[in-house]
Amino acid sequence: MKKQDMDRDWITTARTLSEALPYLQRYDDAIVVIKFGGHAMGDDTAMDTFARDIVLMRQVGVNPVIVHGGGPMINDMLAKLDIKSDFVNGKRVTDEATMEVVEMVLSGRVNKRIVQAINAQGGRAVGLSGKDANLVMCDPADPQLGLVGVPSRIDPGILHTLFRDDAIPVIAPLGAGENGETFNINGDTMAGAIAAALKADRLLLLTDVDGVRDASGSVVTALSADQIRAMTADGTIAGGMIPKTETALAAIEGGVRAVVILDGRAPNATLLELFTEHGAGSMIRA
């Protein structure tokens, strides 16, 4: 690379850092809950980039909380162990044998991989599930689905303890039942409930799409709760986007300032959203 080009790159970097200052100040000591899943979880380069971004967020004063999924990894392990699953209305029934695999994969393989990636970038990540310190208590979502739960009570005290210790919580979507059961929880639902309990400044839902699209197919960068409801009613929001927007609405009603649905495959997506004027994805506010 020519010296002139190198100088230009450094000047651009310096200008970007300078322009980020108001946003760095805006999010100082803010709580940002991030649902991590999809493509980035299975790609080593994307995982490293995500981990570096999280460490940078913590370094500049943000309190990030990571809630992760792991459906494809669970499916792979069930197949390897030849554990057959029943389905009700397209949803997997989680019996005790399946739950053992779910907990092993989520709290073990997936959770610790994310923790290791963040720590390798200089962070101080701590892996836990909703069962730890009674973080998330659950009710059954549907008796037909077995050990699938919905959060009924959240005690975020352990998370505030970790914030004070400059640690980054990485949470597997599992919860405890009132009778000692372990429940599997939808990752988006878990992230939304934790964000509401923390009264988070932002909930970032990282997906494999670049946001909510309108009837013409264009990504809508800013949406109100009423617009989301209208777009769902007329069919503009459909399919897999409906659970995402339902999570967003529930989080906002629970006290989260704003929810952003954005493409987790895009490099530095979380930094673009928080620290640039352009932002990323679709922001939903009350």
pLDDT over 60 at 10, yes or no: no
The answer to whether the predicted template modeling score (pTM) of the entire model surpasses 0.85 is yes
pLDDT tens per residue, range 49-82: 999 999 999 998 999 999 999 888 898 999 999 9
CATH number at 29-285 = 3.40.1160.10
pLDDT over 80 at 15, yes or no: no
pLDDT tens per residue, range 167-206: 999 999 999 999 989 999 999 999 999 999 999 999 999 9
Radius of gyration of the chain (CA): 19
Residues 6+ apart with CB under 8 A from 105: 70, 73, 74, 77
pLDDT tens per residue, range 236-260: 998 888 889 999 999 999 999 999 9
The pLDDT assigned to 39 comes to: 63
pLDDT over 80 at 24, yes or no: no
Nearest CA among 201, 235, 228 for reference residue 282:
228
Q: Quick one: 232 exposed, middle or buried, by C-beta within 10 A (0-12, 13-18, 19+)?
A: middle
- Per-domain boundaries in the chain: 29-285
Q: What does the alpha-carbon distance between residue 253 and residue 256 come to, in Å, rounded to a whole number? A: 7
User: In the beta sheet, which residues pair with residue 153?
Assistant: 137
pLDDT tens per residue, range 106-136: 999 999 999 999 999 999 999 999 999 999 9
